[in-house]
Amino acid sequence: MSDYNFAYLDEQTKRMIRRAILKGLAVPGYQVPFASREMPMPYGWGTGGVQVSAATLTPEDRLKVIDQGADDTTNAVSIRKFFERTAGVATTEATQEATVIQTRHRIPEAELTEDQILVYQVPIPEPLRFLEPRKTETRKMHSLQEYGLMHVKLYEDISQHGAISTAYAYPVRVADRYVMDPSPIPKFDNPKMEMAAIQLFGAGREQRIYAVPPYTRVVSLDFEDHPFEATKADHPCDLCGAGDSYLDEVIMDDAGNRMFVCSDTDYCRSRREEAA
Amino acid sequence: MSPLLQVAGIEKRYGARIGCTDVSFDLYPGEVMGIVGESGSGKSTLLNCLAGHLAPDAGRVIFDTRHMGPVDTVTMSEPERRMLSRTDWAFVHQHARDGLRMSVSAGGNIGERLMAVGDRHYGRIRAAALDWLDRVEIDGARIDDRPSAFSGGMQQRLQIARNLVTGPRLVFMDEPTGGLDVSVQARLLDLLRGLVRRMGLSAIIVTHDLAVVRLLADRLMVMKDGRVVESGLTDQVLDDPQHGYTQLLVSSVLQV
């Protein structure tokens, strides 16, 4: 344990990251550059989220890590182990018991409270990236609030598919100012982003941190005649019967059988335990 | 009538070299100004200075805006200038690829300016796109095709539609017919002439093709080595060139 500083990163690095986090909270949705460190995991596995978590954790914290809603998948298990070893913090799978939740691509079903921090892993923080390749230009577009191009993408969706087919990483406008990529969460989760907990976003490879403070207005972009819709599979969970949770579709065999289960494993388990 | 655009003493230098210098003219509403000259004479530099793509080293470009009256666009703030270039101005590039988003459908290309100025109604944007495809003689059925599937002439017409959809009052054109074969050029010129006349547009057209200015331009400026050597009514300049260089230019056009 003494081989590592608390939570792996050295204190100066954590201070640097905390400064970026504070700046991000002060300017909701604005991408703050930070000196991202090499982490002992490949880019794309949550190096940004891990650094934000490391700078956020205190010895008293209780950490939960989810990957696509699940506590038991590779990414979640290895990051949880990483902090168990390097920070020695308590961990949990129960959403309500956690103080810091690092997530990849989901917001937990249970409502979060003011005592919690949600840390997102972000692959590409720039919502305009695939529309405008020049970074100098996207920065200028953000500073001048020129967001018409974002709607061009939604227009293309409707013209090709008859509806806005963007199903994840659905662009939002934060506090009526910055357009932000909410990381690849399903658009089902977008309305939950106006929440009591602090939301921090870390992109390690792209070296950006951004944040949404509690109770901040987060609006999903749409057209007047094609309003935003939070969609999910039209089915209840086959394990716990929940009709209000986001579902994974699981292929059961090669005869076309499939089942739908909650993507939030903790939510599903606690519902089944209650019922039992 | 007050001029739409007043250009006074524009100069742009690239280090010690002159891009263009001492260019002054007035452009009135509905008027089309042609700028001709050989490659390297400073035509494009001048056009880019006027359109705000390059910052001139000296001079003023005063545009008669809808809301604030005449304003110097050189000293105006960048957000204002970018807003102007999305609403009252249009810029038609020589290569359609520079002016279009090649990965976005034709309808999206036309709708982009509408969405940039705040239109958030899909049906209206779509209707405007269809209307403009029709006006530039592109089949409405191709609204969802990408410009990369279009021919060169269609791409250029699409670029024009994309620029004119917000009803600009001043259009900058940089060699709009460059690189197109003659029959396509003729059709494009015919279309441009119709649009300019019908919408009462003012335009500044840079070209090295005298036939283009003969057809489109009311007035003409001839540039050489960054300076304006002769200017006047188009027919007058082309039929009775005074300056030696203009005489050379006019006489070097092949007569078929």
> Which string of DSSP letters, residue by residue, matches A93-128?
S-GGG-SEEEEES---SSPP-TT-EEEEE-S---TT
pLDDT at residue B256, rounded to an integer: 61
Long-range contacts formed by A76-84: CB under 8 A, 24+ apart: A76/A104, A78/A41, A79/A41, A79/A46, A79/A49, A79/A50, A79/A53, A82/A8, A82/A40, A82/A41, A82/A50, A83/A7, A83/A53, A83/A54, A83/A57
For range B137-164, the mean pLDDT = 94
Residues of chain A within CATH 3.40.50.11310 domain(s) are: 11-220
Please confirm, yes or no, whether A46 is among the known catalytic residues: no
pLDDT at position A122 is: 96
Shortest CA distance to A141 belongs to which of A152, B184, A52?
Answer: A152
Same domain flag for B162 and B174: no
B162 touches chain A (CB under 8 A): no
Q: Cβ contact (<8 Å) for B115 and A146?
A: no
Tell me, yes or no, whether B179 and B131 share the same domain: no
Does residue A57 contact residue A87 with C-beta atoms inside 8 Å? yes
Residues B177 and B252 grouped into a single domain: yes
Chain B residues touching A222 at Cβ < 8 A: 120
CA A110 to CA A103: how far, in whole Å?
A: 14
Confidence bin at B252 (pLDDT 50/70/90)? confident
Q: A77-86, B126-135, B172-181: lowest mean pLDDT where?
A: B172-181
Give the per-residue pLDDT at B131. Answer: 95
User: Does a structural domain hold residue B194?
Assistant: no
d(CA B124, CA A131): 22
Work out the average pLDDT over B6-11.
94
Q: pLDDT for B197-231, tens place per residue?
A: 888 899 999 998 888 898 889 999 999 999 999 99
DSSP string, A12-29: HHHHHHHHHHHHHHHSTT
Contact across the interface for A148 and B126, Cβ inside 8 Å: no
Q: Is B26 helix (H, G, I), strand (E, B) or coil?
A: strand
Q: Which of A237, A241, A243, A256 is catalytic?
A: A237
The reply to whether B4 and B23 lie within a common domain is yes
Mean pLDDT of chain B: 92
Query: Has residue B22 been placed in a domain?
Result: yes
Nearest to B121 among A149, A160, A225 (CB): A225
User: Is B104 close to A151, i.e. CB distance below 8 A?
Assistant: no
pLDDT of residue B136: 92
My answer on whether B69 and B111 are in the same domain is: no
Strands B32-36 and B58-65, sheet pairing: unpaired
User: B255 versus B114: which is more confidently predicted?
Assistant: B114
- Looking at residue A236, its amino acid is P
Residue B192 resides in a domain:
no
Kindly state whether residues B37 and B8 are assigned to the same domain.
yes
Average pLDDT over residues B86-110: 93
- Total domains present in chain B: 2
Q: Catalytic site residue A268?
A: yes
Å from B6 to nearest chain A CA? 27
* CATH of region A11-220: 3.40.50.11310
Q: What angle do CA A150, A152, A155 make, to 5 degrees?
A: 120
Domain with B256 in it: what CATH number?
A: 3.40.50.300
pLDDT band for position B185 (50/70/90)? confident
| Residue B163: domain span | 96-167
Q: Is A223 on the interface with B (CB under 8 A)?
A: yes
pLDDT of residue A240: 93
**Is residue A148 annotated as part of the catalytic site, yes or no?**
no
Shortest distance between the Cα of B79 and any Cα of chain A, in A, equals: 6
Q: Which of A152, A160, A222 sits opposite B112 (nearest CB)?
A: A152
Type of residue numbered B196: V
pLDDT of the residue at A276: 82
Question: A29, A46, A202, A204: which one is catalytic?
Answer: A29
* Residue in A48, A49, A202, A262 annotated catalytic: A262
Nearest-neighbour CA in chain B from A226: distance (Å):
7
d(CA B50, CA B29): 16
| Interface residue A158 vs chain B (CB under 8 A) | yes
Q: How far is A155 from chain B (nearest CA, A)?
A: 7
B51 and B3 inside one domain: yes
Do B105 and A160 make contact, defined as CB atoms within 8 angstroms?
yes
- Whether residues B84 and B161 fall in one domain: no
> Can you give the pLDDT at residue B158?
95
Which of A148, A204, A240, A243 is catalytic? The answer is A240
* Residue B152 located in a structural domain: yes
Q: Are residues B233 and B254 in the same domain?
A: yes
Rg (CA), chain A: 19
Tokens of A201: 């976003």
Q: What is the pLDDT of residue A2?
A: 61
Q: Are residues B13 and B113 in the same domain?
A: no
B51 and B72 in a single domain? The answer is yes
Output the pTM of the full model.
0.87
Per-residue pLDDT tens digits of chain A, which is 276 residues long? 567 899 999 999 999 999 999 999 999 999 999 999 999 999 989 999 999 999 999 999 999 999 999 999 999 999 999 999 999 999 999 999 999 999 999 999 999 999 999 999 999 999 998 888 899 999 999 999 999 999 999 999 999 999 999 999 999 999 999 999 999 999 999 999 999 999 999 999 999 999 999 999 999 999 999 999 999 999 999 999 999 999 999 999 999 999 999 999 999 999 999 988
